[in-house]
Structure 1
Amino acid sequence: MSEAYITRISIFLPNEAVPNDEMEQYLGYINGKPSKSKAIVLRNNGIKSRYYALTKEGTATHTNAEMAALAIKDLFANAPEELSEIDLLSCATSSPDQLMPSHGVMVHGWLPETDSIEVVSPSGVCCAGMHALKYAYMSVKIGEKKKAVSCASERLSPVLRAGQFEDEVQQLIKLEQNPYLAFEKDFLRWMLSDGAGAFLIENKPNPEAISLKIDWIEGCSFANEEEACMYMGSDKESDGNLKSYKDFSPEEVLDKSIFSIKQDVKLLGEKIVKLGFVKLQNIIAERGLDMNEINYFLPHLSSFFFEKKIEDFFIENDISVPKEKWFTNLASKGNVGAASIYMMLEEVFNSGKLKKGEKILLVVPESARFSYMFCLLTVC
């Protein structure tokens, strides 16, 4: 089999960074009042700025597919003619612009410089970006493709705007209940960000700069054991099952804000670190991975709240990953879902600090129904 290397990484961030005190200027005020949960959530998640593909008036500045295409084009900024050499496009998102056609072909539509090529669209949430990478990695490794691009992008800001919740708020007022949305719905508004990232995966390292050899990628799901924790386009019933938006009337879809993103916060806190990092323990044992050899540890964090939980797990289980080896840019980029790991790796890759032979461990948890992806890279 061939080897597979990440030879270039690029990202696209829309517009200017939005600081915490300007968020509601973009997302709006629910029921005309500032959020009660905003300060609490921001204090816990540690995010200082994020990016939105919209104006303060709510007008879209980019589509999701467009941002992905812009990140891909930036891979070839110094050699745009190479766009025609791409033989695979693997595009992931949890927030496509439409249900049909697939997100991947919509991205391809923004890339007229490319040829008629294979396009795939891994779905999911945070792990989807890693699924896109794994498809590209395997395609190159078995020799089917030579120049594959994987990308991940998110445009969630439109569904975070206050207007998405106003109908439900009015229903609550009519019923003389608390006019504020439940914490499970409100808290994700202060965490999510827009943007895109892209990797170029080839069967040979870049002769002019560093590359990252993909040693392995491994994933797992605990959906056979756990109910959904984060969901959209559905509602959770008392038995833990999800009821699809297709099974609600149009009026109920609006009244219950079915297309808002919801998070079972209690389930998240109990499960997200425990499940994933026990799996990492198993991978360490099965692959004979020496954690002392890891130079960079890149965990995708939805909130800095989980950083201490991961650190405690490592200490309790005698896993050596000193904090100086950790890297995240959550504070400056926000949680960009499937694209977060691309944002993180891009910053490390283009920092000028990597040395040949160093090893990078990527860990991506997904709370939707508790899935995880792990990847080991070697600088070459």
Structure 2
Amino acid sequence: MDPLSPVYITGCGAFLPGQPIDNEIMEDHIGRVGGAPSVFGRRALRWNGIARRHYALTPEGRWLHSNASMSAEAVLRALEAAGLGRADLDCLAAATTQGDLLVPGHASAVHGELGGGALELASFQSVCASALMAAKYAWMAVRTGEANCAAACAGEFSSRWFRPEFYEGGALIDTKGRLAMAADFLRFTLSDGAGAVVMESRPRPKGLSLRVQWIDMVSLAGRFDPCMWAGASEQGRAERDGGWSRRGPLAAHAEGAIALQQDFNLLKAVIRAWIGVYLDKVDAGRIDPRAVDHLLCHYSARSLREEIVGLLEATHAMIPEERWFTTLTETGNVGSASIWIMLEALVRSGRVQPGQRILCIVPESGRAMVGFMMLEAVEAVR
């Protein structure tokens, strides 16, 4: 008999700032580098398939929210969905790609926004898979009896790094005023928002809860250089002394080493590595594709989904596309927050029925990591 407690997601919350921004006005909203349209922007939008997204700043660059305030709002919404309040929370695990401050951690900033009494905290900084890192911490805290009510949240405020003035004077802009593709593509792909889940040792008294069966995290960083990074030049991203802190922020900015960038050639190899991890889990019996009713797979672009489907269709491990659920087109790619934004939307849609299983997969291209979470929908205890 398992001496550990079962764990249930009893509430999901999502927060998307401002009004939806469609493709026709998005570049004017974040600003045109050099005052001219991006050379790569339209190609990026065709590639990623995003139609709308949300930004936590105005076209003038004024902040509407912080990463921490969006994350806190998502936690409060998840608590409300669970029928709980701030006073019920005793553990908070927070994830992000880039927090509001270099120090202290994101969880401290979110707690500051939430206010209230003492909490156990854990901060996780990576890229998209940091959401499941935080979820695993919250899950283990409740499972071991260390916490009664734990929240895992993830937030992103990417647009603040995409303003034209962030790149001006740096090496990423060429002599014609064009921004390097490794940085410019991301301006048309990433957006802002936050999501959260609340975990307890008992299902909620009314409605559906999601029992967390397991969470697995797999890093392949020993095989790959950074694929998405900030804080180093492209040439120095894998060197011990290649980071911004050795050179100082002004010198690093001049080298183009502060901006978020992605190596799209390396990404092709990383995609195949992610799929290899998934296939290993299928072969080991950890995942049975036939038993998955809903697949929430985070991917940054429609073209990446097409590549993943193409690689899997010839295998016994393909989960039929009619079972896939995403909000990418409507909410954009919100990095680490995307998986919780998707899960909240799936639960709210009414599609989930008791006994169904939900598989969440979150690959990240930061340095080749992928996370998996298996959930089972359970009825309320009467």
Instruction: Calculate the TM-score normalised by the size of structure 2.
Output: 0.94
- Return the alpha-carbon distance in structure 1 between the equivalents of residues 207 and 137 of structure 2: 24
| Runs of 5+ unmatched residues, structure 1 | none
Paired position in structure 2 for 1:301: 299
Amino acid in structure 1 at the alignment position of 2:125: S
Paired position in structure 1 for 2:211: 213
Please say which of residues 335-344 and 278-287 is displaced more in the overlay. 278-287
- Return the alpha-carbon distance in structure 2 between the equivalents of residues 278 and 42 of structure 1: 28
- Return the alpha-carbon distance in structure 2 between the equivalents of residues 316 and 53 of structure 1: 42
- Return the alpha-carbon distance in structure 2 between the equivalents of residues 238 and 329 of structure 1: 35
Task: Tell me: CA distance 1:200–1:249, structure 2 relative to 1, closer, same or farther (3 Å).
Answer: closer
Task: Tell me: CA distance 1:48–1:83, structure 2 relative to 1, closer, same or farther (3 Å).
Answer: same
Paired position in structure 1 for 2:41: 38
Paired position in structure 2 for 1:27: 30
| Runs of 5+ unmatched residues, structure 2 | none
Match of 1:334 among 332, 335, 343: 332
Contact 2:11 2:82 in 1 (8 A): no
Match of 1:14 among 9, 17, 23: 17
Paired position in structure 1 for 2:137: 135
Match of 1:155 among 148, 154, 157: 157
- Return the alpha-carbon distance in structure 1 between the equivalents of residues 289 and 233 of structure 2: 41
Deviations 1:59-81 (A, max 9, x none): 00101000111111122347887
Contact 1:4 1:203 in 2 (8 A): yes
Amino acid in structure 1 at the alignment position of 2:154: A
Give the paired residue count: 374
2:269 is paired with a residue whose SS is: helix
Paired position in structure 1 for 2:124: 122
Deviations 1:193-221 (A, max 9, x none): 10011101000011101000011110111
Identity between Structure 1 and Structure 2 (%)? 34
Match of 1:166 among 165, 168, 171: 168
Contact 2:79 2:198 in 1 (8 A): no
Instruction: Calculate the TM-score normalised by the size of structure 1.
Output: 0.94
Task: Tell me: CA distance 1:152–1:34, structure 2 relative to 1, closer, same or farther (3 Å).
Answer: same
- Return the alpha-carbon distance in structure 1 between the equivalents of residues 319 and 81 of structure 2: 37
Establish whether residue 63 from structure 1 lines up as the match of residue 66 from structure 2. yes
Contact 2:76 2:85 in 1 (8 A): no
Paired position in structure 2 for 1:102: 105
Task: Tell me: CA distance 1:366–1:255, structure 2 relative to 1, closer, same or farther (3 Å).
Answer: same
1:287 is paired with a residue whose SS is: coil
Task: Tell me: CA distance 1:255–1:142, structure 2 relative to 1, closer, same or farther (3 Å).
Answer: same
2:214 is paired with a residue whose SS is: strand
- Return the alpha-carbon distance in structure 1 between the equivalents of residues 237 and 16 of structure 2: 40
Task: Tell me: CA distance 1:216–1:81, structure 2 relative to 1, closer, same or farther (3 Å).
Answer: closer
- Return the alpha-carbon distance in structure 2 between the equivalents of residues 267 and 32 of structure 1: 31
Match of 1:91 among 94, 105, 130: 94
Amino acid in structure 2 at the alignment position of 1:35: S
Task: Tell me: CA distance 1:337–1:170, structure 2 relative to 1, closer, same or farther (3 Å).
Answer: closer
Within-5 A mapping of 1:269-308? 269-272=268-271, 274-308=272-306
Deviations 1:16-36 (A, max 9, x none): 011011112221111111101
